[in-house]
């Protein structure tokens, strides 16, 4: 391995590891939820779990694989519209407040979409062009942001169910937590756009 190859390997390995870690974390967060749980959109400001899983995948497909992996073809052309959010330059978008009616594609198909994009990303990550690295990091931070949204959105959905289902029945107050959890007052007004 020459000096350039060694440097490429040094750069590539942590990115590939981080990619795998972040993508796996999303699936871990969705794992306790049934396919029915994953379709629910409890208010226009929230998105279904399944949509978060697909939209974060759409990001890598649209901004990394299509422009940078030779020969890559979209997993499904319809996903380009269904799972775009606010990216006007990336084409038309399914209405945000109607994400909850997307019973199709199902959770299993979204899982297959994620797996296919991850496999293609693995090819790209073997020898990523320099311009890919900041975009991959952007995609990973975007996905981490959606992981937070996935949790807040499903907690809101579950909170409206009279059966009072818990997202995680094994959750306990973290050791060292000070005082009981409570709401804090803050400035009131309109929030910004969610990603
Ligand atoms: Fe987003």
pLDDT, tens only, 127-136: 999 999 999 9
What's the CA-to-centroid distance between 10 and ligand 1, angstroms? 29
How high is the mean pLDDT of the chain?
90
pLDDT at residue number 183? 77
Write out the DSSP string of 31-64: TTS-TTGGG---STT---HHHHHHHHHHHHIIII
Over range 112-122, report the average pLDDT: 98
CA of 142 to the centre of ligand 1 (A): 6
Instruction: Find the 131 Cα to ligand 1 centroid distance in Å.
Output: 21
Tens of pLDDT, residues 6-18: 555 555 568 999 9
Counting residues of the chain whose pLDDT is more than 90, the rounded percentage is: 74
The pLDDT assigned to 89 comes to 84
- % of the chain exceeding 70 in pLDDT: 88
pLDDT at position 90 is: 86
Task: Determine the distance separating the centroid of ligand 1 and the alpha carbon of 84, expressed in angstroms.
Answer: 8
Cβ neighbours, 10 Å, residue 77: 8
Among the residue ranges 48-57, 59-68, 83-92, 151-160, the one predicted with the least confidence is 83-92
Alpha carbon of 177 to ligand 1 centroid (Å): 31
pLDDT tens readout for residues 77-111? 999 999 998 788 888 889 899 999 999 999 999 99
Q: What is the pLDDT of residue 4?
A: 54
Tally of helices (H runs) and strands (E runs) in the chain: 6, 0
Q: What is the mean pLDDT of residues 100-125?
A: 97
CA of 137 to the centre of ligand 1 (A): 14
Q: How far is the CA of 6 from the centre of ligand 1 (A)?
A: 34
Cα of 24 to ligand 1 centre, how many Å? 17
CA of 176 to the centre of ligand 1 (A): 33
Average pLDDT over residues 63-90: 94
- Is residue 42 scored above 80 in pLDDT? yes
Measured distance CA(49)–CA(38) in Å, rounded: 5
- 112 — alpha (psi -120 to 50), left (phi > 0) or beta? alpha
pTM, two decimals, is: 0.85
Residue 194 CA, ligand 1 centroid: distance in Å: 8
CA of 195 relative to ligand 1 center, distance in Å = 4
| Spatial separation of the C-alpha atoms in residues 45 and 149, rounded to whole Å | 10
Please give the distance, rounded to the nearest whole angstrom, from the Cα atom of residue 55 to the centre of ligand 1. Answer: 7
Q: Is the pLDDT of residue 5 over 80?
A: no
Residue 148: partners with Cβ closer than 8 Å, 6 or more residues away: none
């Amino acid at each position: 391995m020459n000096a350039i190859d060694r440097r490429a390997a040094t750069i590539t390995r942590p990115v590939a590891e981080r990619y795998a870690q972040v993508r796996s974390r999303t699936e871990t967060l969705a794992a306790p939820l049934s396919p029915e749980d994953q379709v629910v959109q409890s208010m226009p400001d929230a998105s279904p779990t399944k949509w978060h899983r697909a939209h974060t995948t759409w990001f890598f497909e649209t901004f990394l694989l299509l422009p940078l992996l030779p020969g890559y073809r979209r997993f499904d052309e319809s996903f380009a519209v269904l799972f775009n959010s606010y990216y006007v330059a990336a084409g038309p978008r399914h209405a945000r407040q109607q994400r909850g009616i997307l019973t199709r594609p199902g959770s299993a198909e979204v899982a297959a979409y994620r797996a296919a994009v991850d496999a293609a990303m693995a090819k790209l990550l073997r020898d990523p062009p320099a311009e890919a690295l900041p975009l991959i990091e952007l995609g990973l931070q975007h996905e981490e942001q959606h992981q937070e949204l996935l949790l807040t959105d499903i907690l809101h959905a579950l909170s409206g169910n009279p059966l009072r289902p818990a997202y995680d029945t094994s959750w306990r107050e973290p050791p060292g937590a000070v005082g009981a959890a409570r709401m804090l007052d803050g400035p009131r007004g309109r929030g910004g756009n969610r990603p």
